[in-house]
Amino acid sequence: MDDRRIGIFDSGIGGTSIWGEIQELLPFEQCIYLADSKNAPYGDKPPEQILDLSIKNTEYLLARNCKLIVVACNTATTNAIEYLRANYEVPFIGIEPAIKPAAINTKSKIIGVLATKGTLSSSLFHSTSKNHTEGITVLEQRGTGLVEMIENGNLESKDLYRLLESYIKPMLEKGMDYLVLGCTHYPYLIPMLKKMLPENVTIIDSGQAVARQTKSVLTHNGLLTGSKLLGRHQFFTNGDEHVLASILSTSKVEYSVFFKDF
């Protein structure tokens, strides 16, 4: 039993989609969430800078005594998780585009992956993709500009719709029947995506798989909390706390949002 908190970080508010899955599956755990919005987007930065930012976030969470760290960002996972695992003692859970289930289930043999430049150009993404997609066409689409718009907090704007559509349409025209969301900000686009995707196209994101993996690693390492009280969560942002608070506002659990210039 271990009552310390789970640490979670992302380049901004996107990883709250992962936090939501974790707190649903593990309601008695408590989390500290870091939204490094000041440095978003990570996806356009060089790999060395993504690594430095991931180290900074990790050390912030470890200084707050976290027992496990969830890298709730595909870009940080694909560019930094090997280093983090090799250099820190706590377990790390990462997130990568869920290509495997899409490749197994596609009928058209054409799948789309919408992700950041940083994720799509990483070697970890390429080796995972290669391992699971024999005989499958993988349409890799960079979501340039989407993270910035989501970070602004207006998830219903026409500009956002138009930009998203400009990425989705060409993949539809090529026959994609699975769309893999390879960025933790993108689940917030699902209501918009549902308006532009025909019914035969399935959207896949990795949030629930990350939550299950978090539970499994906590269990096998004896790190689950002994508490039977619902967890209270802390959110730190170095960006706009109102945007973070608004994205959390539908949540029923107890949480606090703080501005901190980390």
> Within 10 Å of residue 245's Cβ, how many Cβ atoms?
16
Name which of 14 and 231 has its Cβ closer to ligand DGL.
14
Catalytic residue, candidates 35, 81, 183, 210: 183
CB of 121 to ligand DGL, least distance (A): 12
* Contact in structure between 72 and 8 (CB atoms under 8 Å): yes
Query: How far apart (Å, rounded) are the C-alpha atoms in residues 214 and 88?
Result: 17
DSSP state of 76: H
CA distance 129 to 127: 5
| Residue number, 41 or 112, with CB nearest to ligand DGL | 41
Could you say whether residue 231 binds ligand DGL (CB under 6 A)?
A: no
In single-letter form, the type of residue at position 89 comes to E
Instruction: Cis check for the bond before 27: say yes or no (omega within 30 of 0).
Output: no
Q: Rule CB under 6 A: is residue 183 a binding residue for ligand DGL? A: yes
Is 73 labeled as catalytic in the residue annotation? yes
User: 257: which 2 tokens?
Assistant: 């949002």
Q: How far is the CB of 232 from ligand DGL (least distance, A)?
A: 24
Shortest Cβ 45–ligand DGL spacing (Å): 8
Residue 149 interacts with ligand DGL (CB under 6 A): yes or no? no
Q: How far is 39 from 35, CA to CA, in rounded Å?
A: 9
Phi, psi values for residue 91, rounded to 5°: -70, 145
Residue 147 found at the interface with ligand DGL (CB under 6 A): yes
Decide whether 26 or 189 has the Cβ nearer to ligand DGL: 189
DSSP classification of residue 41: -
- Using rule CB under 6 A, residue 11 touches ligand DGL: yes
Q: Which stretch binds ligand DGL (CB under 6 A): 63-71, 72-80, 96-104, 198-206?
A: 72-80
Question: Catalytic site residue 31?
Answer: no
Instruction: Provide, rounded to whole angstroms, the least separation between the CB of residue 35 and ligand DGL.
Output: 10
From residue 96 to residue 135, the character string flagging contacts with ligand DGL as x (rule: CB under 6 A) and all else as - is --------------------x--x----------------
Cβ within 8 Å of residue 41, ≥6 positions away: 11, 12, 75, 116, 147, 148, 151
**Nearer residue to ligand DGL within complex by CB, 20 or 41:** 41
Which residues are known to be catalytic? 73, 183
